[in-house]
Amino acid sequence: MSSEQRDTCFVRFDEGLCTGCASCLRVCPTKAIRIRSKKSIRIVNQCIGCGECIRACPARAVRAATSDLKILGNNHVAVALVSPVLYAQFPGIMPKDVLHGLRQMGFQHTIDMSYFLEMFQLATEEFIKRNRETRNAPWPLISPVCPVVVRLIAFQFPSLMPHVLPVLRPVALMAREIKRRIIPFYMETGEDVVLYYINPCPTKMDPACLEKDKQPAIPEFALGINDIYPELAGHVRRIRESDAIPFYQTRFEYETCATGNASMWAMSGGEIADMDIEKSLAVSGIEETITYLQKIEMGLFQDIEYIEFRTCREGCLGGVLNVVDKYLAKSAVQKMIKTVGLGRRLPREKILRLYEKGDFQTENRPSQLLSLFGGQKEGLSIESMQKVEKLLEVIEGRDCAACGAPDCRTFAEDVVRGNASMKDCLYVHVQTKKKNKKPSAG
């Protein structure tokens, strides 16, 4: 991604709606966005898909690179992979009704994450238990669940990659199960299967971004919760109003949700709450996440075994593609847990046998991630850095972002790299004007 482009694998910019206000520049954690003349947005650094630009844009000119709902329902078996955050958008409604609503919308299968979250939980506990003796991995281990966190580490904190827990993420376990069981089922009937990830954030990469040989064999699309909400809410309302007693028939056991565990994962702290770990911590919010990663890099928190990070405040229910406000959603989750309770369903011994076989471990991911998201910008040499420092003395700026870069340092680095001109700086412009005026006034 060294060449400039307008869209990223996660977000799209509408230049017609953009007012050039620079709100997105300031919130981008990887300083990826620039505004060139005439409000034209350019992406120059790694986009990690956090969605902060979507949240910040007052003109609604940024949106997630999700797919159009219209593609649903034509000549294929649609499988919905449901983020448990979806349930939090329906206060007082049981997850099974929400999943049934999805099936009425045209998804043949609705995969709930509970089983896979539980598998992940057991595998994580086991890894940590063993690591207490072997110390193969450094403390604190970092949760791999939020993909934005993992990309952020690959891009900005590569020295922390060994801290990322090498266990397959719940969503990867879910996708694997579908490939093992649902797809072979339809291979026999000759029907095409398409996977739809239903997400609270723009985290799922647009498959078009992947290189041709890395593209998934089964077509995958991402849908934002806000994309499906209006239609789904209608179905859910009708299900609730109907007098029929709901005995839903599903083909696979994980197509329904039975415990409150999955819902709990929508909240910050929900991942570690029920995990058997001696010392763990939950951190949420992009700024907070960066602060903690900086501290880990400086050698802190080595007495903590596991840290759950979510770049959205309050956890996934703070995701930018949700419909219900995060605090209301949180209250809905808490109420649901009171109603249905928590509990595990999977036989521990069986999971441990699979763990022994290496069914949950992942090793190639870090190198893959580093090649996709690792620091790809050109490093500045000592001479260039000296030039940057000199320019900063000339600018004496206030990080106004009028130049189209997020702050003065980034701007100076852009100038030294040859990607921006000092003429774009407002302070320099005003000062030159004053200087030029003086002789004529005198």
Site residues for other proteins per CB under 8 A = 156-159, 294-295, 297-300, 375, 377-383, 385-386, 388-389, 413
Q: How far is CA 42 from CA 12, 35, 269, 376, 419, in A?
A: 11, 6, 36, 16, 11
* Shortest Å distance, C-beta 379 to other proteins: 2
Nearer CB in complex with other proteins: 112/413: 413
In angstroms, rounded to a whole number, what is the distance separating the alpha carbons of residues 191 and 221?
Answer: 17
* Shortest Å distance, C-beta 92 to other proteins: 42
The answer to whether the CB of 49 falls within 8 A of the CB of 41 is no
Q: How far is CA 235 from CA 91, 97, 228, 238, 241, in A?
A: 15, 9, 11, 5, 10
* Shortest Å distance, C-beta 424 to other proteins: 20
Residue that the structure tokens 């994580």 belong to: 124
* Shortest Å distance, C-beta 161 to other proteins: 8
Nearer CB in complex with other proteins: 156/311: 156
* Shortest Å distance, C-beta 44 to other proteins: 14
Per-residue b or e along 172-197, where b marks 16 or more CB atoms closer than 10 Å to that residue's CB: bbbbebbeeebbeebeeeeeebbbbb
Nearer CB in complex with other proteins: 244/298: 298
Nearer CB in complex with other proteins: 245/298: 298
**Half-sphere exposure of 271 toward its Cβ, with a 13 Å CA cutoff?**
30
In angstroms, rounded to a whole number, what is the distance separating the alpha carbons of residues 199 and 319?
Answer: 9
Nearer CB in complex with other proteins: 62/420: 420
Q: How far is CA 85 from CA 225, 250, 380, in A?
A: 9, 21, 42
Cis? peptide before 200, omega within 30° of 0: no
Nearer CB in complex with other proteins: 217/298: 298
* Shortest Å distance, C-beta 412 to other proteins: 10
* Shortest Å distance, C-beta 294 to other proteins: 5
Residue that the structure tokens 């009708």 belong to: 238
In angstroms, rounded to a whole number, what is the distance separating the alpha carbons of residues 327 and 309?
Answer: 18
Nearer CB in complex with other proteins: 78/153: 153
In angstroms, rounded to a whole number, what is the distance separating the alpha carbons of residues 255 and 338?
Answer: 22
Instruction: Count CB neighbours of 97 within 10 A.
Output: 18
Q: How far is CA 430 from CA 35, 422, 425, 434, in A?
A: 20, 12, 9, 6
Long-range contacts of 394-399 (CB under 8 A, 24+ apart): 394/422, 394/428, 395/425, 395/427, 395/428, 396/427, 397/425, 397/427, 398/427
* Shortest Å distance, C-beta 299 to other proteins: 4
Q: What are phi and psi of 303, to 5 degrees?
A: -90, 0
* Shortest Å distance, C-beta 168 to other proteins: 24
The answer to whether the CB of 196 falls within 8 A of the CB of 78 is yes
* Shortest Å distance, C-beta 409 to other proteins: 8
Nearer CB in complex with other proteins: 302/432: 302
